[in-house]
Amino acid sequence: MKIVALAGGVGGAKLAHGLAQILEPGELTTIVNTGDDFEHLGFYICPDLDTVCYTLAGLANPETGWGRSDETWNVMENLEKLGGPSWFRLGDQDMATHLERTRRLRVGEPLSQITKAFCEAWGVKHAVLPMSDSPVRTMVNADDGELAFQEYFVHRRCEPRVKGFRFDGVEGAEPAPGVKEALDLADTVIICPSNPWVSIDPILEILRPPFAQFDGAKSVIAVSPIIGGQTVKGPAAKMYRELGIEPSAFAVANHYRGLLSGFVFDRRDAQLVENIKGLNMRAYVTNTLMECLDDRKQLAMEVLNFIGEVL
Ligand code: FO1
């Protein structure tokens, strides 16, 4: 079975990690959102790409989900003493990633190639691709004006009310090398439990125009990031509410309506099963909360079995 997983940050990385425990390298390609990339302190930072790579490498910080485990913060502490910006926390080990990525980008190496080289260095065996080598920037239209994604997410702690989103640069951006090939070969695309508005929509915007078959011939399965009306992490539920939609697994299924052959959601939302089937997709109910490594593997196994039923 060949699988393409679409992922944003922490939730997506956890399921990709579960899939990587089961699938052979060569059977799994994870395509990652780069809409929340930004330049900060002179570094080119790719939070979701790093979260996915660190997680697959077993290097991710288990408390935050982002950044490195066993991290030290010497640079940040000294930066703060000098009055430098410290709202975006960069650990010492993590900083090496941004330093080297920025250096390579400056000498003309594309992001996809840099990611491949980093994955090799970290021992990540399954392919990880940025959605595009061209910069795409998620912009949050909030009640007090438009904000760059990290400004909204980290600096303003998701406090501004959202009115919509714009993916700056998406029109001119091509999928990264390897993305089209992976999709052509894939039996199934799994949309990981990431934020539909700001993690998955940017990837879909990049993929849709050149991949007509993506809207029909391939089976596409999504896993809900919303459990019992809430998100495990991040502002997806708050975003749904502010956009006038009741946050629920049904709202997520409805968001991807027309694209999905199957939808996986949590036991706590089992009462939504008939409504979800009414969206013309198969439904699978299980425990989707990934609290430990075994949960990741268990959910991945169940999603793969469900794909077997759907195909
Ligand atoms: N998220 C935070 O909430 N606060 C931080 O200081 C922070 C630093 C950070 C550094 C590197 C990195 O790769 C990610 C980091 N994140 C931080 C997470 C990240 O900005 C968001 O989780 C994603 O952009 C949303 O998927």
Could you list the mean pLDDT of each consecutive 10-residue stretch along the chain, which spans 311 residues?
95 98 97 98 98 98 96 98 97 98 98 98 98 98 96 97 97 94 93 97 85 63 97 92 97 94 97 97 97 97 95 82
Q: Contact 251/275 with Cβ under 8 angstroms?
A: no
How remote is the CA of residue 47 from the centroid of ligand 1, in Å?
Answer: 6
- Does 210 map to a domain? yes
Residue 258 covered by a domain: yes
* Angstrom distance (rounded) from CA 158 to CA 277: 32
- What tokens appear for 119 in the block? 């994955």
Biggest alpha carbon distance in the chain? 59
Whether 150 is covered by a domain: the verdict is no
Ligand 1: which of 88, 137, 239 to mutate, most ligand atoms within 8 Å of CB?
88
Ligand 1 mean position, distance from CA 90 (Å): 9
Dihedral angle of Cα 167, 169, 172, 178, to the nearest 10 degrees: -70
Per-residue pLDDT, 212: 44
Q: Which amino acid is at 181?
A: E
Say if residue 191 is exposed, middle or buried (CB neighbours under 10 Å; 0-12, 13-18, 19+). Answer: buried
Interatomic CA distance for residues 8 and 31, integer angstroms: 9
Which among 224, 311, 223, 299 has a CA at the least distance from the CA of 19? Answer: 299
For the chain, give percent helix, strand, coil, nearest 5.
40, 20, 35
Nearest Cα to Cα of residue 43 among 100, 110, 128, 89: 100
pLDDT tens sequence across 253-311: 999 998 999 999 999 999 999 999 999 999 999 999 999 999 999 999 999 999 999 88
Burial 29-61 (b: 16+ CB within 10 A, else e): bbbbbbbbbbeeeebbbbbbbbbbbbbbbebbb
Is residue 269 within 8 Å of 231, Cβ to Cβ? no
Q: Which of 71, 154, 198, 203 to mutate for ligand 1's pocket (most ligand atoms within 8 Å of CB)?
A: 154
Residue 230 in any domain: the answer is yes
CA separation for the pair 307, 263 (Å, rounded): 10
- CA-nearest residue for atom 26, ligand 1, is 9
Tell me the CA–centroid distance for residue 154 and ligand 1, in Å: 7
Name the residue at shortest CA distance from atom 19 of ligand 1. Answer: 47
The residue type at 80:
E
Shortest CA distance to 36 belongs to which of 274, 276, 289, 235?
A: 235
Residue 226: per-residue pLDDT = 97
**Closest C-alpha to ligand 1, atom 16:** 66
Task: Report which of 128, 266, 260 is spatially closest to residue 189, judged by C-alpha positions.
Answer: 260
Q: How far away, in angstroms, is 4 Cα from ligand 1 center?
A: 24
φ and ψ at residue 25, rounded to 5 degrees: -60, 140
CA dist 147 to 36, 40, 43, 144, Å? 12, 15, 19, 9
**Ligand 1 atom at shortest distance from the alpha carbon of 90:** 10
Please give the Cα distance from 151 to 45 (Å, whole number): 13
CA–CA gap between residue 224 and residue 264 (Å, rounded): 6
Q: How far is the CA of 156 from the centre of ligand 1 (A)?
A: 12
| Cα 213 to Cα 232: distance, rounded to the nearest angstrom | 32
* In a domain? residue 162: no
The Cα 274–Cα 311 span in angstroms is: 21
> What residue's CA is closest to ligand 1, atom 18?
66
Give ligand 1 pocket residues (Cβ under 6 A). 8-9, 36, 47-48, 50-51, 66-67, 88-90, 94, 150, 153-154
Q: How far is the CA of 166 from the centre of ligand 1 (A)?
A: 20
pTM over 0.95: yes
Round to whole Å and give the CA distance between 95 and 62: 18
138 token code pair: 């998620």
Count of domains for the chain: 1
With the most atoms of ligand 1 within 8 angstroms of its CB, the residue from 39, 66, 128 to mutate is 66
Atom of ligand 1 nearest to the CA of 8: 26
For residue 138, is it within any domain? no
Q: What is the mean pLDDT of the chain?
A: 95
pLDDT, position 146: 97
Going by alpha carbons, the residue nearest to atom 3 of ligand 1 is 154
Cβ(283)–Cβ(276) below 8 Å: yes
Q: Is position 42 within any domain?
A: no
Q: Residue 215: what pLDDT?
A: 54
CATH value at residue 217: 3.40.50.10680
User: Does a structural domain hold residue 23?
Assistant: yes
User: Which amino acid, 210?
Assistant: P
What's the gap in Å between 208 CA and the centre of ligand 1?
Answer: 27
User: What is the domain range of residue 189?
Assistant: 3-34+47-56+111-133+174-310
